[in-house]
A and B are shown apart, each in its own frame.
Chain A
Amino acid sequence: GAVVSQHPSWVICKSGTSVKIECRSLDFQATTMFWYRQFPKQSLMLMATSNEGSKATYEQGVEKDKFLINHASLTLSTLTVTSAHPEDSSFYICSARDLASITNEQFFGPGTRLTVL
């Protein structure tokens, strides 16, 4: 099946710094990617929908100025957590929708563990 990678797989940063997480579709093109966060022992919550070449669409309650999303190409979306705080510590997972799939197949990345000290 298609592969989605995330980089880094884990990151530890100091409070107040910014962290960038990359989501790449390795063998397919994705005009749409989705970003989720998952708190320990909880479900995945959709944060935003990332569209190639246009602004991301954020879910209600998600601060767009804090979670900056850029989808500059058909294979790469980035999520930047700005001025990170300990409460931003979470597991971030992306998914990518295959542009060529007539059944709208999506594939999930392996996730990025963010720990803010």
Chain B
Amino acid sequence: AQSVAQPEDQVNVAEGNPLTVKCTYSVSGNPYLFWYVQYPNRGLQFLLKYITGDNLVKGSYGFEAEFNKSQTSFHLKKPSALVSDSALYFCAVRDDQYNFNKFYFGSGTKLNVKP
């Protein structure tokens, strides 16, 4: 079965500081990993994805994530946080092999960036 875990319910960071939102995964087959952001009462906005290739993936709004196969992690990072980055972040794995492209989402991490 495919699953992702986000161990932190909430991450607090000061504006201008680097941020990391953690995600670990468990998959059968090749991992297709995604990060999405959700603002209150809004749908999901795509940030970035890892399908294959370079382990460091760059995405929207200055975010990046590093795929680490040995640690089965896909942490989201940004060098300098903005107050406007405050939102709910979801890590997800897409099952292209066994379950017709279904997404399995982590529990979400609320990012609070303080001025």
A residues contacting B by CB (< 8 A) are: 1, 6, 32, 34, 41-44, 46, 49, 91, 93, 95, 97, 103-104, 106-111, 113
Q: How far is the CA of A71 from the CA of B90 in the complex (A)?
A: 27
Cβ contacts under 8 Å, B44 to chain A: 44, 93, 108
Per the bound structure, the CA–CA distance linking A44 and B43 in Å amounts to 11
Per-residue 0/1 for B16-51: is the Cβ within 8 Å of any A Cβ (1 yes, 0 no)? Answer: 000000000000000000001000011110100001
A32 to B38: give the CA distance in the assembly, Å: 23
B103, A49: Cβ atoms under 8 Å? no
Give the contacting residue for A46; candidates B102, B106, B108; CB below 8 A: B102
Q: Contact between B100 and A32 (Cβ–Cβ < 8 Å)?
A: yes
**Bound complex: CA of A47 vs CA of B44, how far in Å?**
16
B42, A49: Cβ atoms closer than 8 Å: no
The reply to whether B42 and A106 form a contact with Cβ atoms under 8 Å apart is: no
Interface of A: prevailing SS: strand
The answer to whether residues A95 and B106 also contact, given A108-B43, A110-B42, A111-B43 and a CB cut-off of 8 A, is: no
Inter-chain contact B36/A34, CB cutoff 8 Å? no
Chain B residue contacts of A46, Cβ below 8 A: 102-104
Contact call A104/B94, Cβ cutoff below 8 A: yes
Asked, given contacts A95-B103, A106-B94, A113-B41, whether A42 binds B108 with beta carbons under 8 Å apart, the answer is yes
Distance from B112 Cβ to chain A, minimum over Cβ atoms (Å): 14
- Residues of B near A97 (CB, < 8 A) are 101
B63 proximity list for chain A (CB < 8 A): none
Which residues on the B side are within 8 Å of A34 (C-beta)?
102-103
Task: Find chain B residues with CB under 8 A from A113 CB.
Answer: 41
Give the chain B neighbours of A44 by CB distance below 8 A.
Answer: 44, 90, 103, 105
Contacting pair B43 A103 (CB below 8 A): no
For residue B107, CB closer than 8 A to chain A, the reply is yes
Bitwise interface map of B from 78 to 115 toward A, beta carbon under 8 Å scored 1, else 0: 00000000000010001010001111111110000000
Provide the residues of chain A in CB contact with B51, threshold 8 Å: 103
Are B101 and A108 in contact (CB-based, < 8 A)? no
Q: Check A91/B41 contact, CB under 8 A, given A44-B90, A106-B94.
A: yes
A43 to B90, Cβ gap below 8 A? Answer: yes
- Given A104-B94, A108-B44: A43 and B100 within 8 A (CB)? no
